[in-house]
Amino acid sequence: MEEVDAEMLSQESTHCYDSLLCELLGMYFMDNMKKNRIIFIGLLMSLGVYGQGIQPPLSYWFDTPTTLNGHAVWYGGNPELWKDKKPISAGDHAKNPDAEWESASLPLGNGSIGANILGSIEAERITFNEKTLWRGGPNTAKGAAYYWNVNKQSAYLLDEIRKAFTEGNQEKAERLTCQNFNSTVPYESYKEDPFRFGNFTTMGEFYIETGLSTIGISGYRRELSLDSARAIVQFCKDGVKYKRTSFISYPANVLVMRYSADRPAKQNLRFSYAPNPVSAGSLQPEGKNGLVFRARLDNNSMEYVVRMRVLTQGGTVTNTHDQLLIEGADEVVFLITADTDYLINFNPDFTNPKTYVGVNPEETTAYWINEAEKQGYEALYQAHYADYTALFNRVKLNLTNSSDFRDMPITQRLSRYREGQKDFYLEQLYYQFGRYLLIASSRPGNLPANLQGIWHNNVDGPWRVDYHNNINLQMNYWPACSTNLSECMKPLIDFIRTLVKPGEKTARAYFGARGWTASISGNIFGFTTPLESENMSWNFNPMAGPWLATHIWEYYDYTRDVKFLKEIGYELIKSSANFAVDYLWHKPDGTYTAVPSTSPEHGPVDQGATFVHAVVREILLDAIDASKVLRVDAKERKYWEQVLEKLVPYKIGRYGQLMEWSGDMDDPKDQHRHVNHLFGLHPGHTVSPITTPELSDACRVVLEHRGDGATGWSMGWKLNQWARLHDGNHAYKLFGNLLKHGTLNNLWDMHPPFQIDGNFGGTAGVTEMLLQSHMGFIHLLPALPDAWSDGSVSGLCARGNFSLDVCWKDGKLRQVDIISYAGTPCILRYRDAVLIFKTQKGKSYRVTYQNGCLILNKR
């Protein structure tokens, strides 16, 4: 069980409490016995305060240690399955040679640095990442031209492709598209040298040998605390209680690990570092208590530095040049930081191979490690805790009977849930885990969360651990604004800004269009081009750019930050809208349609895929609204409105389904994981049970045909779509399926393999069940399932910059407290009741539900 000092306790307990309650809290943190934890919770329940300000600790834990079998599987020239330059087949994507890392490690992160705690007894193994450590880019051996000059000049073929469709020659249209709307860049490193696209790669592993054996171990617990963003490993050995506490500080940008025991002189440790095997570098001593690794990646010479330092109480430290030996210490604190020379660049120079180089990691890491050493453990932790909880504690979720808490290992908890036993604590834990992961993998000043967030344990990995722009990157950010983490959106916004200049070249080359776009896969070096493959079912996605741009409007719509919209956001939206209208074919009959187009990862090249039209609708509506807010571009706005009016409409097919393609060719037995054609339902807002009931019914048919199973992220998407259909019980079924069949034991999403988007999709989906605001009003409990008959949620955000605390009982809304941060009119809807009232900036309002009406209470 986690121990917390008195100061931290006072920070966590911000509601109510008399002296008796304080005594109970003190008793809880006095000892690490499970018995006290259970007594404490029982007493709180008897006082009637459990679930009313105090909830069970948000954490999960394992009761058995991991092995050391996965330690540096690539180290020593034996990278096994994901060895550099070894072909990775589609089937291999589902495998990870380091299974315990994938399913049993505890992830920590601060948006720049990521680490996984494995918690073995004989040694602690820590995998380590820095988000900008990427191979590939314009600084590969062959230079800038080799990297950038890869777009095919294919725009001139559009007329011929469209003519082929008009003449009914599907084969010709598809052949021309497949052969000409790809590029010369492969997606696998073994296909070219140097590898241009590149991949996110590990920074290596740390290994801390303890001198202990597993014989006679008792009380083992490896726990991730979401309340404090700490990993804690503890156990008893020969009558001694050992404890390891780890966290990664965003303010200090260091990984901090403290090793302690309840008896003195018990820390006898050997610290070593296994570097990335595709680097040329040297590990050197730094003073008596530090090591520094200076290196460059193999194919692009990216410079990076890893600094390691040890602080002790008592005992001795010996620096052996490649290891740190600690003997007889009472307590040991390890400080680790890292950086690369990567520079985010919104205006890259296409002739300069070093256009993404500009940071000095020697200087940054030296500053961070020295400052961290000056502060010491307690100050570092307090700053970390204050920073993290300022974000995490904004939202509280309490579901039906979640106070009926049983403390058990996560493996047991998941096993019971998979067998059909209710566990509302697990459901709210999973919800908050998604918020935890977003805070840990996406903070201002660095790149957005990638396919694995920030966590990676090998040289190469599934799908290059890249930025997949055909749902995966977008899904990562679905819960950001709605769950009160709008700051975590900023890395995504900056990433989108890096795509604009390269994306303009791609738009012109392939479509002769204004504006910018992106394609299915992105990296940190402005890659916006399609890949080499002629398989257009997955490699042709010109609407990736406009889809990303919708997130710019979403950020504004939640925050109502007009300064942001004016200075940054609007041009991104406007240029994306211009690309969208230029991409469309203005047919002789006056209609606009997307030719050629695809439904990502599914089906043929088409003359009007529903997904593409849905994204076009969304970005044009965003551009129209943005221009109205800023009162600019009336002429452009009128044109966008004209295109919208003439855009080919949604179509309902012979099965009553929303058609995925221009022809009625859907197969009701098709259970493909992608449901692209429902984009207008979610994440878009052009289909809704309230405004377009017939189209909503057609979406329901699609979801029924596709089924309730799929890979993890797909179940996450379907969960959101069922919530948008206001079917709470079916949404809850998808949420349960995601937890049962799409979740690993450490709660990571499983595609398979581990892929983080499903975690974020799950958190977003639960939020959509409780609150929606995409249709111009705030919809309260639109998809509340029967299973969650009683509950409350506080701190959720709605578009218009509102914060809401919602409480319900017996399946009915009781009251909602609203804070208006923008002073805009508030439109509330619950069931058939609607309430509209004016608000003042910074003021709070209470609304209750009585006799079928929403009542604004006087405050």
Which residues partner with 776 through β-bridges?
A: none
DSSP, residue by residue, 570-630: HHHHHHHHHHHHHHSEE-TTS-EE-SSEEETTEEEEESS-HHHHHHHHHHHHHHHHHHHHH
Contact in structure between 520 and 544 (CB atoms under 8 Å): yes
Q: Which CATH number fits domain 151-184+466-649: 1.50.10.10, 1.10.10.10, 3.40.462.40, 2.60.40.1240?
A: 1.50.10.10
**Interval 369-392 mean pLDDT:** 98
Structure tokens at 105: 């490690």
pLDDT at 16: 28
Residue 650 DSSP label: P
Res. 46: pLDDT tops 90: no
Q: Tens digit of pLDDT for each residue in 618-635?
A: 999 999 999 999 999 999
Q: What does the pLDDT read at residue 578?
A: 98
CA–CA separation, 189 vs 83, rounded Å?
10
Token duo for residue 403: 């106070």
Res 217 pLDDT > 50: yes
- C-alpha to C-alpha distance for 10 and 6, rounded to whole angstroms: 6
> Which pLDDT score, from 0 to 100, does residue 69 have?
82
Q: What is the mean pLDDT of residues 427-449?
A: 98
| Mean pLDDT for the stretch of residues 321-348 | 98
Which positions ≥6 away from 583 have C-beta within 8 Å? 511, 513, 517, 542, 594, 616
**Quick one: pLDDT at residue 79?**
38
Determine the CATH number of domain 788-857: 2.60.40.1180
Q: Which amino acid is at 75?
A: Y
In the predicted structure, residue 73 carries a pLDDT above the cut 70: no
> Which of 36-50, 282-296, 333-347, 459-473 shows the lowest per-residue confidence on average (mean pLDDT)?
36-50
Kindly list the domain boundaries of the chain, sorted by start residue: 1-54, 62-136+198-392, 151-184+466-649, 788-857
The answer, yes or no, to whether residue 859 has pLDDT greater than 80, is no
Report d(CA 357, CA 561) in Å as an integer.
31
Q: What's the pLDDT at 474?
A: 98
How far is Cα of residue 230 from the mean position of the Cα atoms in its chain?
19
In the chain, the amino acid numbered 126 is I
Question: Does pLDDT of 653 surpass 60?
Answer: yes
Task: Please say if the pLDDT value at position 82 is more than 50.
Answer: no
- Is residue 415 over pLDDT 80? yes
Question: Per residue, what are the HEC states of 402-448?
Answer: CCCCCCCCHHHHHHHHHCCCCCHHHHHHHHHHHHHHHHHHCCCCCCC
Structure tokens at 836: 């509209």
The pLDDT tens digits for 486-510 are 999 999 999 999 999 999 999 999 9
* Residue 168 reports pLDDT greater than 60: yes
What distance in Å separates the CA atoms of residue 436 and residue 750, rounded to the nearest whole number? 17
The predicted pLDDT at position 3 comes to 37
Reported pTM: 0.94
Collect all residues with Cβ–Cβ distance below 8 Å to 858 and sequence separation of at least 6.
none
pLDDT confidence of residue 403: 61
pLDDT of residue 53: 47
Query: What average pLDDT does this structure show over 540-569?
Result: 98
- Give me the mean pLDDT over the 11-40 stretch: 36
Q: Enumerate the β-bridge partners of residue 107.
A: 116
Residue 146 has which token pair? 């080799």
Residue 759: closest CA among 461, 485, 434: 434
Q: What is the CATH number of domain 62-136+198-392?
A: 2.70.98.50
pLDDT digits (tens, 9 = 90+) for 218-272: 999 999 999 999 999 999 999 999 999 999 999 999 999 999 999 999 999 999 9
Tokens 């319900």 belong to 808
Count of C-beta atoms within a 10 Å radius of residue 86: 15
37 has a pLDDT exceeding 90: no
CB 242 within 8 A of CB 227: no
8 Å CB contact between 762 and 738: yes
pLDDT value of position 74: 46
17 pLDDT above the threshold of 80: no
Q: Residue 76's pLDDT band (boundaries 50, 70, 90)? A: very low
Higher-confidence residue of 654 and 19: namely 654
**Each residue's pLDDT tens digit, 86-129:** 433 334 455 677 889 999 999 999 999 999 999 999 999 999 99
Nearest-5° angle of CA 430, CA 433, CA 435?
125
663-708: pLDDT as tens digits: 999 999 999 999 999 999 999 999 999 999 999 999 999 999 999 9
Instruction: Name the residue with tokens 């290992």.
Output: 409
* Mean pLDDT for all residues in the chain: 91
3-state secondary structure of 81: helix
pLDDT score of 701: 98
Lowest mean pLDDT among 28-37, 155-164, 438-447, 723-732: 28-37
- Quick check: 395 and 484 in contact, CB under 8 A? yes
**Residues linked to residue 848 through DSSP beta bridges, in sequence order:** 815, 855
- 133: CB partners within 8 A, 6+ apart: 200, 201, 202, 203, 276, 297, 302, 304, 340, 342
Rounded to whole angstroms, the maximal C-alpha distance in the chain is 85
Tell me, what's the pLDDT at 31? 39
pLDDT (tens digit, 9 = 90+) per residue, 766-785?
999 999 999 999 999 999 99
Instruction: For residues 468 and 61, give the distance between their C-alpha atoms in angstroms, rounded to a whole number.
Output: 31
